[in-house]
Amino acid sequence: MGNHSQLILLLLMSLLAVLASQSHSFQLSASNRWLVDSGSGKRVKLRCANWPAHMGVMLAEGLDKQPINHIILQFHNLGLNCVRLTWATFMLTRYSNQTVKQALDSLNLTDAKAGIAKNNLNVLTMTHPQSYVYVVDQLAAQNIMVLADNHISEPKWCCAPDDGNAFFGDTNFDPQEWLQGLSMAAQLLKGKPNVVAMSLRNELRGRLQNAEGLVGNMCNIRLLLLWGNILSNIVVEL
């Protein structure tokens, strides 16, 4: 086994150890092959919907169509108990001070802005991190768990092999900024008991997804050490 492989294995083992030591911080934990409620010990089956919030406006889709509580009620009606709520890295690292209204205006989405003003007026003046937390809190109010999914870097439709967000080192996929975004997300969602998981990245793909790209970006020793440290902090912070 080469030095890079040994380092990766060591970091993964360290992360698993941190996860195990911090399992009491989560609403859910593992018992053999099952997810269980940490309090009752009863098995929990995740039945999740995907709720996109990674597009250009960086807001959960549909808030221009219905009040948020009506949307969440539909999850219950479908027998769901979990939402995979997506987010874009740049939402936190580059656009954290931009409001939803400013994003809508920049994209000339006048109809969508009017719809949000009608159905979820308070969202318009929120910054993107505030609106994301607002959705998380509204889901919590109706006992819906959240998997926070880092879907993409640049807020846009996903995915294509050449969209610049495909793999470490791509045009809009700087590993350092990705790690920064994950750390910021962990801080943002700290103390939210209904956030039971975080997806670190959606669909790695593209031309850099090969041995050269992997070694050049993920097997950089300094980056791997930073990655392992931030992942450990994410577990502790959540």
Superfamily per CATH, domain 3-237: Glycosidases (3.20.20.80)
pTM to 2 decimal places: 0.79
Whether residue 109 contacts residue 34, with contact meaning beta carbons closer than 8 Å, is answered with no
Structure tokens at 38: 């940490």
Q: Which of 35-44, 115-124, 188-197 has the highest mean pLDDT?
A: 115-124
Q: What is the pLDDT of residue 227?
A: 53
Q: Residue 219, preceding bond cis, omega within 30 degrees? A: no
How far, rounded to the nearest angstrom, does the alpha carbon of residue 14 sit from its chain's CA centroid? 22
Q: What is the pLDDT of residue 12?
A: 46
**Nearest-5° angle of CA 17, CA 21, CA 27?**
120
pLDDT digits (tens, 9 = 90+) for 57-99: 999 999 999 999 999 999 999 999 999 999 999 999 999 999 9
Span 40-67, average pLDDT: 95
